[in-house]
Amino acid sequence: MTSPNPRAFIFDMDGTIVDNMAFHTKSWVAFFERRGHEIDPDDFFRATAGRQGHEIMRTYLGSELTNEATALLDAEKEELYRELYAPHLETVAGFDQFIETAQEQDVRLAVATAAPPANIVFTLDGLDLRRHFDAVVGAGDVARGKPNPDVFLLAAERCGTAPEHCIVFEDAPLGVEAARRAGMRAVVLTTTLPAEAFAEFDNVICVARDFSELDIEALFAGRPAATNNIQQAQ
């Protein structure tokens, strides 16, 4: 019997399903070095994680860039990333068991990512994960990247789930803000930033190092993470 209020987990991909943000940062550094620009990796991540490639290109290389120009630049940067990360491609600890248990409990599953189509194929198909998801929403499906809520709202719609019954899994402040704007609770994975980077968000219900630390029913009950768990996740 189908639940009248189906529940859903919506996963960011980069830094959440896979612990790859260091490789994205390395590829951005190399990409900008080719153009004579230096970036601070930590500041760059905080300012851009969750934004779409064309948004980043226009911010750092000029707002006058055409769609065709940004598409070529995006392709160059993402090819660099895939070359760097391919030998290391694997899911975050506990993820495979976590989604298997969620499916057994009739939780709908979605991916909502700022990644371009080629990177979604690289990750989800490279790890044979796509078959588990009821919806996959990427940069090509929405006009605006995070912190706008578009990608999460579309994922919920495609799952047939109301925002208040969705929990988002994220590793970046812009993503958690997008979840907040969508009216969704969030779980933070500290794959990339420490717990204190998310202290301002009142929609965060749990902070964890990986998926092995998470309990599905406790998450839907909305229990905030205990202080000692947050400290351990740092």
- Sheet of strand 166-170: strand arrangement: 135-137, 108-112, 8-11, 166-170, 185-189, 204-208
Give the CATH number, domain containing residue 83: 1.10.150.240
Q: What average pLDDT score do residues 193-219 get?
A: 95
Residue 33 forms part of a structural domain: yes
Give the CATH number, domain containing residue 169: 3.40.50.1000
pLDDT of the residue at 179: 97
Residue 210 forms part of a structural domain: yes
Catalytic residue among 12, 74, 150, 171: 12
Q: Is the pLDDT of residue 219 over 90?
A: yes
Q: Do 151 and 184 share a domain, yes or no? A: yes
Q: Do 59 and 120 share a domain, yes or no? A: no
pLDDT of the residue at 31: 94
pLDDT of the residue at 47: 85
pLDDT band with cut points at 50, 70 and 90 for residue 50: confident
Q: Do 26 and 120 share a domain, yes or no? A: no
Q: Do 72 and 155 share a domain, yes or no? A: no
Range of the domain at 59: 21-87
pTM: 0.86
Q: Is the pLDDT of residue 230 over 80?
A: no
Total count of domains within the chain: 2
Question: How many Å apart are CA 229 and CA 155, to the nearest integer?
Answer: 29
**Per-chain mean pLDDT for the chain:** 91
Per cent of the chain over pLDDT 90 is 80
pLDDT tens sequence across 90-127: 999 999 999 999 999 999 999 999 999 999 999 999 99
**Does 12 qualify as catalytic in the annotation?**
yes
Q: Do 137 and 197 share a domain, yes or no? A: yes
Q: Do 132 and 225 share a domain, yes or no? A: yes
End position of a domain, from candidates 87, 120, 138: 87
pLDDT of the residue at 154: 98
Residue 1 forms part of a structural domain: no
Q: Do 32 and 123 share a domain, yes or no? A: no
Residue 162 forms part of a structural domain: yes
Q: Do 76 and 185 share a domain, yes or no? A: no
Per cent of the chain over pLDDT 70 is 93
Residue 2 forms part of a structural domain: no
Residue 157 forms part of a structural domain: yes
Residue 62 forms part of a structural domain: yes
End position of a domain, from candidates 70, 87, 104: 87
Q: Is the pLDDT of residue 232 over 50?
A: no
> Which range is least confidently modeled, 24-28, 183-187, 222-226?
222-226
Q: Is the pLDDT of residue 227 over 50?
A: no
pLDDT tens sequence across 148-195: 999 999 999 999 999 999 999 999 999 999 999 999 999 999 998 999
Residue 182 forms part of a structural domain: yes
End position of a domain, from candidates 41, 56, 87: 87
Q: Do 95 and 42 share a domain, yes or no? A: no
Q: Do 181 and 197 share a domain, yes or no? A: yes
Q: Do 118 and 171 share a domain, yes or no? A: yes
Q: Do 78 and 136 share a domain, yes or no? A: no
